[in-house]
Amino acid sequence: MLQIVECPRDAMQGIQTFIPTEKKVHYLNLLLKVGFHTLDFGSFVSPKAIPQMRDTHEVVKQLHSSTATKLLAIVANERGAVEACQYKQIRYLGFPLSVSETFQQRNTNKSIEDALLVVERIQQLCIEKGKELVVYISMGFGNPYSDPYSPELVCRLIEKLQGMQIGIVSLADTIGSASVHDIEALYSLASRLFPGMTLGVHLHARREEVKEKVQAAYAAGCRRFDGALRGFGGCPMAKDELVGNLDTELLLAALREIKAPVPPLNEEALEEAKRYSLEIF
């Protein structure tokens, strides 16, 4: 079944002006009505690193629970994972693990080796608390730092995650540099090597690139896609120029064009959320 993950957290985190908590809550509650599989709503990280997310504790307490959409929160260390696990309404914890040593240091101030130890401890915490860990492979399609990269290198990292019994991995094109060939090559290899895992894509792309990238990932076997309404966002730790997320509407259109079985969504709620997004962005 297709899983559509809406990522307002990724869309909001790079905005310098603080978005009032009440506006965040209203927007997220609108998105919860749409029917997405998962809502990446916030992060439990250092407010010095990501000031926009400093109110995640206040936000999560005000989100509607009468919805089938599952909540996902990003964490970067064990402390953040412990904070997230105290909320029963949060189903998934997301951790950014990079194939690039440079970016892992920039993003979490750790080496890849040290980050893997953190992932292992967070996975144990998730098992104890009844949560699921989603690991994002940042710089999964290459990096601008001249660090070693190949699809095989990514798959060796996924193999380590498989050994920890992690079931969901999202391949992230953090800087929007992946070509159609890159997407096909990595996803095809990873899905062949790890058939028992849920492998998603978290792509960043300009509007004119969304269709070809989404359809390439789907053709390679991907059934889990991240997007964000209006295509806002990008990782503020990556580089100076942010490349936006996949625009959710373009993502859905690309999938419907090839007759992919997109789950039914509340289109009226989607339009309402899209209108209100102009209050946020």
Residue listed under structure tokens 């990724």:
10
Q: Which tens digit of pLDDT belongs to each residue from 118-143?
A: 999 999 999 999 999 999 999 999 99
pTM for this structure? 0.95
Q: Among candidates 69, 49, 169, which has minimal Cα distance to 119?
A: 169
The amino acid present at 106, given as its one-letter code, is: R
Torsions phi, psi of 4, nearest 5?
A: -105, 120
Contacts of 184 (CB under 8 A, 6+ apart): 216, 217, 219, 220
For residue 243, pLDDT beyond 70? no
Residue listed under structure tokens 């509007």:
207
Q: Which tens digit of pLDDT belongs to each residue from 104-121?
A: 999 899 999 999 999 999
The answer to whether the Cα torsion of 194, 100, 44, 116 is positive or negative is positive
CATH number of the structural domain spanning residue 109 = 3.20.20.70
Count of structural domains within the chain: 1
Q: What is the pLDDT of residue 236?
A: 52
96 in helix, strand or coil? strand
Q: Report CA-CA distances (Å) from 184 to 98, 222, 254.
A: 20, 10, 16
Q: Among candidates 64, 85, 92, 67, which has minimal Cα distance to 7?
A: 92
Instruction: Find how far residue 156's CA is from the centre of its chain.
Output: 21
Containing domain of residue 185, as a range?
A: 3-280
Q: Which tens digit of pLDDT belongs to each residue from 166-220?
A: 999 999 998 888 999 999 999 999 999 999 999 999 999 989 999 999 999 999 9
Q: Among candidates 59, 8, 1, which has minimal Cα distance to 281?
A: 8
Distance, in Å, from the CA atom of 78 to the CA atom of 178, rounded to the nearest integer, reads: 31
Torsions phi, psi of 167, nearest 5?
A: -105, -15
Any idea what the Cα angle at residue 12 is, between residues 10 and 17, rounded to 5°? 150
Share of the chain above pLDDT 70, in %: 96
Q: What is the pLDDT of residue 174?
A: 87
* Structure tokens, 225: 């896609």
